[in-house]
Amino acid sequence: TTRALSLIVSGGETTQRPWYSGGNDGEDPDVMISEQCAITTRVAPSFLRVGHIDLFARRALARNATDEQKAEHRQMVEHALFREYPHVKPDAPLEDRVEAMLDEAADRFGALVVGWLRVGFCQGNFNADNCLISGRTMDYGPFGFMDDYDPFFAKWVGSGRHFAFMSQPMAAVANYAMLVKSMLPVMGSVERAQKCVDRAQKVIKAAVEDGYRAKLGFAEEGSAAAAEIYEALEALMRRSSVDYTILWRQLACVAELDESAAASDAALLAPIKMAFYREPCEKLSAGWAEVLRSWRRALAAEEGGGGPEAAAKRMRAANPKYIPREWMLAKAYDQAAHGSYDLVYELYNLFLKPYDEQPDFEEKYYRLAPKEALEKGGIAKMT
């Protein structure tokens, strides 16, 4: 992502905007509120969007394109290489440098969305204008972190399924394809461009699979066992009402159970019980136990995995314990609006070490979201 440098709040200038009253669980705001005006400054090596290159490419590819418009597109591409990919084949012809840049961009786009899936984050509006060629993002849509697992989760009511949580890898592929298309005036070969897109689809798919491999504690990249277990686990998550962050974190405790402690279904499920918003029925519980046992056997059978303790350590490094949930942030900014920044500083310190246990914060922040956080407009969803 681009990074926040500063936030400057006006001492007196305010503006009116639509928002949600306390009892509004719908998608549309129903009240007008007054907010202080502010300016945030963000920094990045560049702010070149995929949409920027696309704009110049459309001009350069038009039937009546001028030499100047073609030259401007070429200058934009050269600038993109200079700002974000200066190391790729610096002495090669431009078309070869572009292809090398696109190969690396595919890796970056994959790493971007895998990071989001790993921590339960949904950007909300991941289109080509909000995707930088560097593999960063900006202009969030509104964004948010997920509580109750839903593959179609998004904070923004306008995200639809195409920008929802589990659709983000497909959005990344679409943005990448747009980037490749915008390079056609200098690449000169549709076939060459299509090969880049085909490779990116495979790269991003493999990156997502490997992200969940890490969340499950497997050491081997490209593990077929991990892919099979994840498919079964995700199906159970869809059928259950389960907290995404707490479930993944608590699975490390399941990995550490010795065989005698995991003999019964109840004992096997005990570490993840706190992750359920609604207790699973007997049939669903049996399904969870079956998948967890298959997963434990696969972990034990993995060569070079180092055993359950090593797997649990890897899982705790991949699955955060604390994330910036909207209900936490809302309390902090409500208090800040009344002059108290205690919660702001507390959350700031909490999120400095999101993978650490931090037992002093467990009771307060390592818990299921309150009901209103799953339903209330302005917290569960917003426009």
**248 CB contacts (<8 Å, ≥6 apart)?**
215, 315, 319
- Cα(49)–Cα(52) distance, rounded to whole angstroms? 5
**259-276: string of b/e by CB count within 10 Å (b at 16+)?**
eeebeebeebbbbbeebb
Of 25, 103, 129, 265, catalytic: 129
Structural contact between residues 51 and 128, judged by C-beta atoms closer than 8 angstroms: yes
Place of tokens 């049939």: 283
- Cα(294)–Cα(300) distance, rounded to whole angstroms? 10
Tokens found for residue 292? 């967890």
**Taking CA 95 as the corner, what is the angle to CA 104 and CA 87, rounded to the nearest 5 degrees?**
45
Short-list 357, 367, 273, CA closest to 312: 357
Q: Where are the beta strands (DSSP E) in the chain?
A: 3-19, 31-43, 121-122, 144-145, 241-242, 276-278
Task: Say whether 243 is catalytic.
Answer: no
Chain-centre distance for alpha carbon 355 = 16
The residues carrying an active-site annotation are 129
